[in-house]
């Protein structure tokens, strides 16, 4: 599916009312946060990178240890037996229960009572992109939204699941970071860049991706000398920044960002060569009201 482009809310374009969020930092001492800033994803490129990572709980927290190769990711082969995919799922579930859940029962019992994630991750529904796997999030560390609704403009033209998840994670869970992550070879961005008529139509796909028209316009203006594939890659990243600006149109997001309680980050996963690029929106230097190019970034890193 297409890359995540979070639509701005038409209900939040006027004055920004101020409100305070309630505190809900429970279970934080038991589940330590894996710092994105310090992550180098070295384990992704090591000879043992195909081995799974097993959680090991203790009174000091949760750590990662190497697990046996039986959890190595593999494609489910096609079979004439319709039950085969679910037989594979059953095997994976029972392996998870035996090697992770039962061995870390205290941690999972605490997570059953409450959650206190540090991150909200808004990711594409593309099956090749799994934030919890590629970024090594442990249970309870990230509130992940992977839904096609990420691309639908909220309230007026589509479902509002993403808005509800955003409001809940910011106001109730009080996450400290929001990461909007996109990826390479995005079919939705290619469809967007190929469209000549961006008006609403009866096509769900067309109405779905057209919300990224600002990113497309910026790409056409700044990367017109590049080939189509390179323009698409430029637009994939531009749409992430467009999403970060759209987040600031929500009053409770803008309020916490202005107070330094919340940071907005962009991420780009290139699964062709397994690299990850991350950056942070510079709130002080950004101008959400500017139609194109109204953002400034900082703390850019490239993990390879």
Return binding residues for Zn(2+).
124, 126, 183, 186
CA 66 to chain centre: 25
- For residues 213 and 8, give the distance between their C-alpha atoms in angstroms, rounded to a whole number: 12
Strand partners, 210: none
Alpha-carbon distance of 261 to 270, in angstroms, equals 30
Is the CB of residue 161 less than 8 Å from the CB of residue 16? no
Q: For residues 50 and 226, give the distance between their C-alpha atoms in angstroms, rounded to a whole number.
A: 36
Annotated binding site: 124, 126, 183, 186
> Count of CB atoms within 10 A of residue 188's CB?
25
Please check whether residue 205 is in contact with residue 191, taking contact to mean a CB–CB distance below 8 angstroms: yes
CA distance 100 to 67: 10
Give φ, ψ of 143 to 5 degrees. -95, 105
């Amino acid at each position: 599916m297409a890359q995540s482009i979070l639509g701005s809310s038409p209900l939040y374009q006027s004055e920004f009312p101020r409100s305070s969020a309630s505190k809900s930092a429970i279970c934080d001492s038991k589940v330590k946060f894996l710092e994105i800033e310090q992550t180098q994803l070295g384990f992704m490129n090591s000879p043992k990178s195909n081995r799974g990572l097993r959680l090991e709980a203790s009174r000091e927290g949760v750590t990662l240890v190497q697990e046996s190769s039986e959890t190595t990711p593999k494609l489910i082969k096609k079979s004439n037996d319709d039950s085969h995919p679910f037989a594979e799922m059953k095997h994976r579930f029972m392996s998870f229960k035996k090697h992770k859940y039962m061995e870390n029962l205290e941690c999972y019992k605490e997570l059953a009572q409450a959650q206190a994630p540090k991150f909200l991750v808004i990711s594409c529904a593309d099956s090749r992109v799994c934030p919890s796997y590629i970024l090594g999030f442990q249970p309870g560390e990230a509130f992940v939204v992977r839904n096609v609704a990420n691309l639908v403009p909220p309230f007026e033209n589509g479902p509002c699941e993403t808005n509800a998840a955003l409001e809940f994670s910011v106001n109730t869970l009080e996450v400290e970071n929001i990461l909007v992550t996109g990826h390479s070879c995005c079919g939705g961005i290619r469809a967007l860049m190929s469209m000549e008529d961006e008006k609403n139509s009866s096509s769900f796909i067309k109405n779905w991706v057209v919300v990224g028209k600002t990113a497309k316009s910026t790409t056409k203006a700044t990367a017109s000398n590049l080939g189509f594939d390179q323009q698409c890659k430029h637009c994939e990243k531009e749409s992430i920044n467009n999403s970060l600006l759209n987040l600031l149109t929500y009053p409770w997001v803008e309020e916490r960002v202005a107070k330094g309680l919340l940071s907005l980050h962009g991420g780009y996963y290139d699964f062709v060569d397994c690299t990850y690029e991350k950056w942070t929106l510079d709130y002080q230097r950004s101008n959400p009201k500017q139609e194109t190019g109204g953002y400034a970034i900082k703390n850019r890193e490239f993990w390879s």
